[in-house]
Amino acid sequence: MKIAVIDYKMSNMFSINNALDKIGFTSQVTSDKNTILEADGAVLPGVGSFPEAMKHLNDLKLINVIKEFIDTGKPFMGICLGLQLLFTKSEEYNKCKGLGIINGTVEGFAKYPSINPIPHVGWNTIINKNPTNLVRSDQDSKMILDNNSYFYFVHSYFVKPDIKDYIFTTSHYGNLEFCSSIINNNIFACQFHPEKSGPKGLKILEKFFS
């Protein structure tokens, strides 16, 4: 199975590339339209600023490519900033528009005075919300994650989907429960980093793309 790791010059794309190769997939870091669209699956990773990321995606003419790929129904995964970019808009800096694939907003932990320190860095657990009514039938048994499993996070912002049933897992930081992953049809996207989360993280990649 060939998986395209979408390169928009925003982070070390090779960590997810290496993780995919380790579990037996053929992956390629690329910003080429045809290579992405011809792949069997795609990953949108990323770390950094939402407005800068949208500018890079626009400059590289990748916005419509991502939407076209998702419309094919092939598996698409967003990781960290790659999750946030799928949403309608972000409050980061100048309230930037996102890809608009998932309706909702991206908010900062800084809005919540009780949250400290920022960014949220390190290992945290997830709570499985199991929205099986929205998951493809062939994904139902594959993507259920174990409650209280630990995954690695690095972020200052989090997503708030308008449709709550898209929330696949949540996590707690301080007294705030936030969405840590979403799933809808052929899209799975998570705030944590599967490629940095040891065997359980690799298992997510394997289950979703297998």
* pLDDT, tens digit (0-9, with 9 covering 90-100), for 36-75: 999 999 999 989 999 999 999 999 999 999 999 999 999 9
Q: How far apart are CA 66 and CA 158, in angstroms?
A: 21
Q: Is the pLDDT of residue 131 over 90?
A: no
* pLDDT, tens digit (0-9, with 9 covering 90-100), for 72-126: 999 999 999 999 999 999 999 878 999 999 999 999 999 999 899 999 999 999 9
Where does the pLDDT of residue 156 fall: very low under 50, low under 70, confident under 90, or very high at 90 and above?
very high
Report, as residue numbers or ranges, the catalytic residues.
80, 193, 195
Which CATH number is 2-209's, of 3.30.70.2190, 3.40.50.300, 3.40.50.880, 3.40.50.720?
3.40.50.880
Radius of gyration, alpha carbons of the chain: 16
Where does the pLDDT of residue 199 fall: very low under 50, low under 70, confident under 90, or very high at 90 and above?
very high
pTM of the predicted structure, to 2 decimals: 0.94
Q: How far apart are CA 189 and CA 150, in angstroms?
A: 16
Cis before 117? omega within 30? yes
Q: Residues 167, 182: contact at Cβ < 8 Å?
A: yes
Confidence at residue 130, expressed as pLDDT on a 0 to 100 scale: 64
Q: At residue 80, what are phi and psi to the nearest 5 degrees?
A: 55, -115
Q: Is the pLDDT of residue 21 over 70?
A: yes
Residue of 10, 184, 204 lying closest to 102 (CA atoms): 184
* pLDDT, tens digit (0-9, with 9 covering 90-100), for 163-197: 999 999 999 999 999 999 999 999 999 999 999 99
Over range 148-154, report the average pLDDT. Answer: 95
Domain boundary assignment for the chain: 2-209
